[in-house]
Structure 1
Amino acid sequence: MTLKEILHVRNVRYFLMFRSSYFARFYYPVFTLLYLDYGLTLSQFAMLNVIWAATIVLAEVPSGAFADTLGRKKLVVLSSIIMFVEIAMIAFVPTGNPSLVFAVFLVNRILSGLAMALASGADEALAYDTLKDQGKEDAWPHVLQIQIRVASAVGIFVTLIGAAMYDVDVMGSVYQLFGWTAPESTQDIMRIPVYATLIVAMVAIYAAFNMQEDKKPMPKSGDKLATTLASLKLTLNTGKWVMSTPYVLFILLYYSLFEHTSRMFLTMNSQYYRAIDIPIIYIGFIGAGVSIFKILFAGQSRRFAESLAPKNFIAIMGIATIATYYFISLGWSIYGVIPALVLIFIIMTMNIFISYHLNRKTESHNRATVLSFKGLMFNLGYGSIGVLYAYYYKLVSQRYSQEQIEQGVDFIASLSSFVYYFAFLFILISVWFHFKDRKKAIFE
């Protein structure tokens, strides 16, 4: 299919709009710094993300099952509305009371996790099944390639503007232009990227409402209890199918390992860049460079994911990821950006590979539920690594002075944990895979 033909498919078009606007958050380039400026500690930041992941774990699979029974569009719409609310909370929370700030961010993380769980799987299932109904499901890797490029193009704008919004010198010039008093610190301007994100959230709501889905017949009794029971039954049956299908099980295990480990690091990348002496304004340029990088290499990622045999692909990605985390842990000043870019390419390629192979093995009637299991396994991992990292960082930071902590020396020292964590789990899963594969070939 050509680009024009792909965009002509309504659900695919609004899927691309929903995904690119849902994650277009102006505060992402300075995510960790934003939390710290609101008055939270790095340990609180890590624990709040654990709560976020735990919320998704609890809501992920049931929401996917409800998407398959009640309707996927309803969950995507509800997700976009909740996302708007959770962003509004941190946009307007007063910062005078640290306990109140933490409580609001706690609720924000819960709502954010719920919104993520509701959308996860449902939006992708809507788009994929529309293609499948038209006999065009082989075009799905191309849709993912386009999605990466669209999201990356939006990301260029968002990261450049978002980082500029957080730079005191840049915003000082803007304030003077309007005759306002120039800000003295990032705490004076920290809400601006959040306000901008709130506006973009309305685009996600618009896209969600414009997706289409055939009306699903309610269970015979027509009541909510019957629908709930049908959803839970589908969840249990899908869980049994995942556990008894080695092809799908190992795809999900490898996906979770690669994704949750990288997400933990990338969530803290603004702190990493500051620790390797990157000025805040340049974080935006790095983010824009990452987006251009994704646009240029999305095609190569897709071809790489499609052409290599699954076992060879996973082995290459695993070894490359271990090496990448090692180079990140060295904390190179300026040049530390290079391994971070390599990690982004690895994860982008891995995500295309996973989505391509997982959708091929999944039937339409429970696609959203299976994709929710994908999110579930990721968030179980993300919650686990969040707890472990928060504890490990606390131990490491005790060995350094306050001046060294302010310089990020303790943070760089804590990054070696990513090498050991990923390598241990990758080897463990691969050994299990090897013995299973010897009995019966998994990737045939």
Structure 2
Amino acid sequence: MTQPAASPSPSPVQALSAEAVAARNIRAFLWFRVLFNSRFYYPIFTILFLDFGLTIEQFAGLNALWAASIVIFEVPSGALADRLGRRRLVVLASWLMVIEMSLLCLMPIGGGWVWPLMALNRVISGLAEACCSGADEALVYDALPEAGKQEAWTRVLARLMRWQSLTFMGVALVGAAVYSPDFMNRVLQAAGLGMHLSKEFCMRIPLVLNLLMALACVVSSLRFMDTHEHAPNISGLNALIRASYHQMLDAARSILRSPAAIVIILTGLLYDCFIRLYYSIGSNYYRLLGIDEQWNGLILTVSSLIGLGTAFVVEKLLGTTTPSRNMGTVAILIFLGLTGVSLIIPGWAGVIFVVPLWLAMRSLHYFISQYLNRVSSPSTRATVLSFKGLTMNLAYGGVMLMYQLQTWVLRGTHREELSGLPKESVDTRLLAMAMPWWPAVFGVLALGLVIWVRMRFRSNLTGLLMDKSSRSGIHLEAGELSSR
């Protein structure tokens, strides 16, 4: 007799209820985001690269390369997710993080290989950021409606914010402490262990800890379940990627027809790139003030706590103060912060002047998100926010290239003064020479933007947001885009 054909075994997703899949994806999402974004080397980011033997110019160039990598890979990431599957893209991102951290762990200190290996590391990091951008959220968001839990997304984001805040503070404290050989040797001495750790050894500790986090990130990524799982299909992928770039250009043209959107995005990218310029050199600034690396984690922890408090104030300002005044307040905070750090007041007094920049960073992105959502129709909101992210990364890459050029010029014009100094002293001295220029450049650009907006649109941001005709460009062009 002919045996009946065996029925195909159900897929893992089919074997579980919709509620179980949603709960599993939520847990995987929370663990993945926390493990992927919590980096032990963040509190010593700048000095880590400089201590590996890079010059400030090379460090600035690497940051520009990283930003460019994100921009280049971000656009086709949606097409890759559609063809390869979102879960596969998230898993790929976690493995790229493992490669990124392995390169750093094995990085030689000094020598000709440091720069090319660091450049490769930054490109891999940018690719990893682009691969998981939105794909992990989509895996959770699509599983919720099938489980009848559409409203749970807001609670998931609230839990993520709490998890990330607590984890970031713990990781910052540990990462900064283990990087400091003075702190580590005091701990070993207090424990009665006859060991002495060198600076070179301590440099590797936060990197090894992050490699372990990357491996845990791989495990969490494998826990995701794709409710729209399909076999990888790369047919026509090149055409799809090209279409992604053309779609983003079309979206840019439509966005630029909305005066309100133009002003919001231009203001946001100008403010953001100067704030991130400081954040990129923060640990070198603390070294310039004479603060030991072990305290960098505490400084970042305080900034996180201040950021949590800022959210309540900003929410009230949004409802009681005009958009122009809110963005003007952010500009004043940035100018005061840049001016304060350029004074280079030694010790903990110098850290006080960083507080305005902390406040500005937290306030800026809240305001930008709220105002851009006001001028965007639901059908184009994702495209507008994606375009905002791309332009901000482009602006950040540009300002890092300018910082690279500035440092190169300063090194050349002060060659005699810097000759004979240890590398660490050269790095801090060049930073001290560069910072006094920043508030002046920011002030001129911010004032120029205000004058240009007044002359070009005969209004300010508040007026443009109130004028419906200045916001309709995005909606109208969105209709055109959808009909193509």
**Structure-2-length-normalised TM-score:** 0.77
Look up the equivalent residue of 1:247 and give its one-letter code: A
The Cα shift of 1:243 comes to 2.0
Tell me the equivalent position of 1:58. Answer: 72
Tell me the equivalent position of 1:224. Answer: 237
CA contact (8 A) 1:165 1:189 kept: yes
Could you say if the C-alpha distance between residues 409 and 104 of structure 1 is closer, same or farther in structure 2, counting changes exceeding 3 Å?
A: closer
Residues of 2 paired with 1:10 and 1:249: CA distance?
41
Stretch moving more, 143-152 or 248-257:
143-152
Tell me the alpha carbon deviations over residues 49-81 of structure 1, each in whole angstroms, 9 at most, x when there is no partner. 121122223223333565578765554443333
Tell me the equivalent position of 1:442. Answer: 464
The Cα shift of 1:173 comes to 4.4
1:247 aligns with 2:299: no
CA contact (8 A) 1:65 1:235 kept: no
Stretch moving more, 100-109 or 246-255:
246-255
Tell me the alpha carbon deviations over residues 262-302 of structure 1, each in whole angstroms, 9 at most, x when there is no partner. 11211111110010111222222212222222233333334
Residues of 2 paired with 1:361 and 1:125: CA distance?
24
The Cα shift of 1:385 comes to 1.1
Number of aligned positions between the proteins: 433
Residues of 2 paired with 1:130 and 1:243: CA distance?
35
CA contact (8 A) 2:69 2:126 kept: yes
Tell me the equivalent position of 2:425. Answer: 406
| Matching residue within 94, 98, 102 for 2:111 | 98
**Could you say what the CA RMSD is over the residues aligned between the two structures, in angstroms?**
3.6
Tell me the equivalent position of 2:163. Answer: 150
1:310 aligns with 2:323: yes
Tell me the equivalent position of 1:4. Answer: none
Could you say if the C-alpha distance between residues 426 and 298 of structure 1 is closer, same or farther in structure 2, counting changes exceeding 3 Å?
A: same
Stretch moving more, 295-304 or 128-137:
128-137
Tell me the equivalent position of 1:415. Answer: 435
The Cα shift of 1:234 comes to 2.9
Stretch moving more, 355-364 or 270-279:
355-364
Q: Where in structure 2 are the equivalents of 1:198-209 lying within 5 Å?
A: 198-209=211-222
Residues of 2 paired with 1:362 and 1:203: CA distance?
38
CA contact (8 A) 1:64 1:369 kept: no
Residues of 1 paired with 2:276 and 2:161: CA distance?
16
The Cα shift of 1:389 comes to 0.9
Residues of 1 paired with 2:157 and 2:209: CA distance?
26
Tell me the equivalent position of 1:110. Answer: 123
The Cα shift of 1:48 comes to 1.3
Could you say if the C-alpha distance between residues 213 and 437 of structure 1 is closer, same or farther in structure 2, counting changes exceeding 3 Å?
A: farther
Tell me the equivalent position of 2:248. Answer: 235
1:373 aligns with 2:366: no
Could you say if the C-alpha distance between residues 203 and 341 of structure 1 is closer, same or farther in structure 2, counting changes exceeding 3 Å?
A: farther
CA contact (8 A) 1:68 1:367 kept: no
The Cα shift of 1:170 comes to 2.5
- Unmatched segments (≥5 aa) in structure 2: 1-21, 467-484
The Cα shift of 1:418 comes to 2.0
The Cα shift of 1:153 comes to 1.7
The Cα shift of 1:377 comes to 0.9
Could you say if the C-alpha distance between residues 164 and 304 of structure 1 is closer, same or farther in structure 2, counting changes exceeding 3 Å?
A: same
CA contact (8 A) 2:342 2:432 kept: yes
Q: Where in structure 2 are the equivalents of 1:309-388 lying within 5 Å?
A: 309-333=322-346, 334-359=348-373, 361-362=375-376, 368-388=382-402
Could you say if the C-alpha distance between residues 58 and 336 of structure 1 is closer, same or farther in structure 2, counting changes exceeding 3 Å?
A: same
CA contact (8 A) 1:260 1:382 kept: yes
Stretch moving more, 325-334 or 54-63:
54-63
- Unmatched segments (≥5 aa) in structure 1: 1-7
Could you say if the C-alpha distance between residues 148 and 421 of structure 1 is closer, same or farther in structure 2, counting changes exceeding 3 Å?
A: farther
| Percentage of matched positions with identical amino acids | 32
Residues of 2 paired with 1:360 and 1:66: CA distance?
30
| Matching residue within 300, 306, 323 for 2:313 | 300
Tell me the alpha carbon deviations over residues 372-409 of structure 1, each in whole angstroms, 9 at most, x when there is no partner. 32222112111211111122123334433354971734
Look up the equivalent residue of 2:403 and give its one-letter code: Y
SS at the partner of 1:313? helix
**Higher Cα Rg: structure 1 or 2?**
2
Residues of 1 paired with 2:35 and 2:226: CA distance?
21
SS at the partner of 1:428? helix
Residues of 1 paired with 2:30 and 2:370: CA distance?
17
CA contact (8 A) 2:77 2:131 kept: yes
Stretch moving more, 118-127 or 27-36:
118-127
CA contact (8 A) 1:33 1:271 kept: yes
Look up the equivalent residue of 1:280 and give its one-letter code: E
Look up the equivalent residue of 2:452 and give its one-letter code: W
Tell me the equivalent position of 2:275. Answer: 262
Stretch moving more, 429-438 or 417-426:
429-438
Residues of 1 paired with 2:63 and 2:397: CA distance?
7
Q: Where in structure 2 are the equivalents of 1:67-82 lying within 5 Å?
A: 73-82=87-96
Q: Where in structure 2 are the equivalents of 1:264-283 lying within 5 Å?
A: 264-283=277-296
| Matching residue within 185, 188, 199 for 2:201 | 188
1:424 aligns with 2:438: no
